[in-house]
Amino acid sequence: MHELSVAHAVVSTVVDALPTPDTRVLQVRLRVGELSGLVPQALEFAYDVAAQGTPLEDAALVIERSPVIIDCPSCGHQELSSTHDFRCPVCAQPCGNVVGGKELEIVDITLDELVTTP
Amino acid sequence: MTTRIVDLRKGILEKNDLLAQGLRAQFADADVHVSNWVSSPGSGKTALLETLLTTAIARGVAAAALVGDCATDNDAKRLERSGAPVRQIVTESMCHLESDMIATYLEGWDLDALDLLVIENVGNLVCPTAYDLGEGTRVALLSVTEGEDKPAKYPQLFNSADVVVITKTDIAGAVEWDRDAAIAAIRAVNPGAPIVETSARTGDGVLDLLDLLLASTPITPSPQLQEAP
């Protein structure tokens, strides 16, 4: 259950990026890889707690999942549909070379530039 | 209402990752082999580490350990019996170690004098996955008492391991451990990592693990930093 510390990191990173401290944030968009070890539902819950009393208080959290990407040495296939079977779904070659799916990233934030928090 | 979308493209754990990269550079400069041991509670990390540290010291390897737990310094006391310097990180209920804790607890230690540093993470198969500690080798441990399909249940963690260690092999018969099924489960989520079978009680596999930790320093930067220009 480290979602709360991740949620706090989201809030502090966004607050640091605001043009003024009282800018209201309308939406925060995250990219969370299937291999990141984070549970989106738990992150949403933790985010609601972490955002309280900050410019993100009313901001919607949008979580985009990114799939596991491998680099199959045999056929070049890239996307895995499973997180617990690292064989190429096309040619069954075992693929340990993960090149994507561990992302934990704030993609963008949507700001309301006219309304400021009280 | 005027809205504006601002591209951030920032790693959520960037602070942790940057500090971990700094630690990794420090470890490389000091030529110390650092591993991060992750497993579920009760899988035998501390017992194996005690045997490994004792073996290392006996062979003239300057070994040290940092051990993380939510509470108590019981593990540090156990590990000190090996003669290696040990420090306990008490996380106060936090479920994983972060790189700032490693930096803090290393203060005052002369890294240049060390050959091997083992970081025993908090027993947890989920949360430590996301936190780079600057290690060269991530070690995931699986005990024969846990069930052969554990890697399938926690694929993220076992996939992120550079080495997978099976522990408590001395009681494998008593718990009807299916070795082939376990190895297949590990291979399904991590086709390439070396698998070392060990027993802290008999010492089986401990030298192999020690040699592996001293020989390898795979550098695995976090994905966010790999993508950075």
- Give the ipTM: 0.83
Confidence of residue B221 (pLDDT cuts 50, 70, 90): very low
Minimum distance, in Å, between the CA of residue A55 and any CA atom of chain B: 15
Residue A69's H or E segment, with its range, is: strand A68-70
What residues of chain B lie within 8 A of the CB of A103, using their CB? 223-224
pLDDT one-digit tens code per residue, B92-102: 878 899 999 99
Helix axis angle for B14-30 and B99-106, nearest 10°, is 40
Is B109:B116 a contact under the CB 8 Å cutoff? Answer: no
User: Can you tell me the distance from the alpha carbon of A35 to that of A29, in angstroms, rounded to the nearest whole number?
Assistant: 18
Ranges B64-73, B140-149, B220-229: which has the least confidence: B220-229
Tokens at residue B75, please?
């593990």
Task: For residues B170-195, give the mean pLDDT.
Answer: 95
Tokens at residue B164, please?
């997978």
Residue B53's H or E segment, with its range, is: helix B45-58
Residue A98's H or E segment, with its range, is: strand A98-100
Task: For residues A23-49, give the mean pLDDT.
Answer: 94
Minimum distance, in Å, between the CA of residue B37 and any CA atom of chain A: 17
Cβ <8 Å between B152 and A84: yes
Question: What are the angstrom distances between the C-alpha of A53 and each of A5, A19, A43, B48, B156?
Answer: 17, 18, 18, 46, 33
Confidence of residue A81 (pLDDT cuts 50, 70, 90): confident
Cβ <8 Å between B156 and A83: yes
Cβ <8 Å between B130 and A114: no
What residues of chain B lie within 8 A of the CB of A38, using their CB? 130
Task: For residues A64-71, give the mean pLDDT.
Answer: 93
Of A9, A37, A104, the CB nearest to B127: A37
Confidence of residue B228 (pLDDT cuts 50, 70, 90): very low
User: Can you tell me the distance from the alpha carbon of A33 to that of B153, in angstroms, rounded to the nearest whole number?
Assistant: 17
What residues of chain B lie within 8 A of the CB of A25, using their CB? none
